[in-house]
Amino acid sequence: MPDTNLPSIHDRLQRVLIAASAGLIVAIITTMWFTEQLPATVRWPIVVLLVFLVALLSASILQRQVGELIEVPLEHCVAAADAMARGDATNMVPPATTAEFNMLASSINRMTEQMAAATQSRMRVEKLATMGRIAAGISHEIGNPVSAIANYAHVLRMRTKDVAGTTEPIDALEREITRIDRIMRGLLDYARPRRLTPKPIVVDEVIEDVLRLLADQGITRRFKVSRELEAPTGVVYAERHDLEQVFVNLMLNAVDAMDREGDIVIRSRINDASFGDSVEKRRTDPFPQKWAHRPSKRALAWLARPESPPTFLQVVMADSGTGVAPEDAERIFEPFFSTKQPGKGTGLGLAIVASTIENLGGTIWVQRAREGGAAFVILLPLHGSGLRAVTPESSPAVN
């Protein structure tokens, strides 16, 4: 946000002119007083010379101030605009010392960030279309042979169940066939549009059900799971299965990020777009909660849209694991990108999460958690806020 307490260009130049005028008057009066006893032929040339020198100095100071207050900030703005025209979204305008150019710098930087977010969004749409074509081809070309191999493996097991030494390789064969099938299904879930039947859903209830399901399966038994669910009225327009898939994938990602033990915290609350600079506080702290970090560019672009709601549901899933490197903060949502060891994941979980959240009209980003690991932050429009889930009819077609 621009600093509204900065002086304007008019005020700064007015101060310089007043100071220069006062200096000129003082110089003239002082010179005339000291040269009062001198002959007029000597006195007035000295006065004129001094006035000329003071005027020259004042002009130099004024020129320097004009360069500092106007020319240099204008050059920075022109350079950023030229970079934007070239498609470079990394050139930011530094803060200026006057209110006008500081507001201009803030506007250009915000425009640059939105352009970068729009470029990334366009690239994601293009990738989605490509992934859709790949998924269709894989489903046709690989799906049928894989199903046949699975059937043959089952027949082979039945015929060799009494043969020593065959159980282990057949188990490995079926395990790898299952992995291929899981990759194919994940790819189809990510890229293939399907008809949605959304309805109002209380997100806190979905989170509670997912935590209960994972606890019953023993997945989270070694971890301390904390709930800070403060949005009982946080209703979004979605399919329950999609929300369950989002939170299951994020929970499994948090579990995989920690070794044998650790902390997982999930928070929810109704929030607004007023970004404070104070550190986020816990529920028991006396002051209102604020943003712990400046949101990512994709979140700022989401909030800057004309149709974005003034209030929304914010969900944070944080862990005490290894975290996400800053250079991977965007790539982590790309399909097949994974920081896990080979064979530990398909690299589609977070891609499906991001795709689902965007289809629901929201956004997601990752930042460093105060627990030490990664914190995935989700913003979702509340039911009735004007933003609706994206349906296949309103979304770009994917072949």
> How many other C-beta atoms are found inside a 10 Å radius of the C-beta of residue 87?
9
* pLDDT greater than 70 at residue 227: yes
389: closest CA among 237, 242, 246, 195?
237
Indicate if 247 and 359 belong to the same structural domain. Answer: yes
Q: What is the mean pLDDT of the chain?
A: 76
Residue 316 or 129, more confident: 316
Q: Is residue 231 part of a domain?
A: yes
Q: Is residue 395 part of a domain?
A: no
Indicate if 230 and 372 belong to the same structural domain. Answer: yes
Residue 119 or 343, more confident: 119
pTM > 0.75: no
Distance of CA 113 to the CA centre of its chain: 10
Sequence-distant (6+) residues with CB within 8 A of 55 are: 24
Indicate if 222 and 357 belong to the same structural domain. Answer: yes
Torsion sign (Cα): 14, 17, 20, 24: negative
Which of 116, 132, 156 represents a domain boundary (last residue)?
116
Q: Is residue 270 part of a domain?
A: yes
Q: What is the pLDDT of residues 172-200, one digit of tens each?
A: 888 888 878 777 776 666 666 556 678 89
Indicate if 89 and 238 belong to the same structural domain. Answer: no
Q: Largest Cα–Cα distance in the chain?
A: 131
Q: Helical H runs in the chain?
A: 9-34, 40-66, 72-85, 99-141, 143-159, 167-191, 203-216, 240-257, 297-304, 349-359
Q: Is residue 46 part of a domain?
A: yes
Q: Is residue 345 part of a domain?
A: yes
pLDDT band at 106 (very low <50, low <70, confident <90, very high): confident
Q: What is the pLDDT of residues 231-252, one digit of tens each?
A: 888 899 888 888 988 998 899 8
Q: What does the pLDDT average to over 130-147? A: 73
Indicate if 259 and 365 belong to the same structural domain. Answer: yes
Indicate if 216 and 101 belong to the same structural domain. Answer: no
Sheet strands side by side (includes 311-319):
223-229, 262-272, 311-319, 374-381, 363-368
pLDDT band at 287 (very low <50, low <70, confident <90, very high): very low
Q: Is residue 366 part of a domain?
A: yes
Q: Is residue 398 part of a domain?
A: no
Using only the alpha carbons of the chain, give its radius of gyration.
32
What is the reported pLDDT for 115? 79
Which of 99, 116, 133 represents a domain boundary (last residue)?
116
pLDDT band at 107 (very low <50, low <70, confident <90, very high): confident
Indicate if 92 and 228 belong to the same structural domain. Answer: no
To the nearest 10°, report the CA torsion of 386, 390, 396, 397.
-150
Which of 116, 133, 163 represents a domain boundary (last residue)?
116
Indicate if 111 and 198 belong to the same structural domain. Answer: no
Residue 99: give the domain boundaries.
9-116
What is the reported pLDDT for 279? 36
CATH number of the domain at 205, please: 3.30.565.10
Domain count, the chain: 2
Residue 7 or 342, more confident: 7
Q: What is the pLDDT of residues 293-306, one digit of tens each?
A: 556 767 777 777 77
Helix (H, G, I), strand (E, B) or coil at 283: coil
Q: Is residue 344 part of a domain?
A: yes
Q: What is the pLDDT of residues 29-81, one digit of tens each?
A: 777 777 777 777 777 787 778 778 777 877 777 777 777 777 788 888 888 88
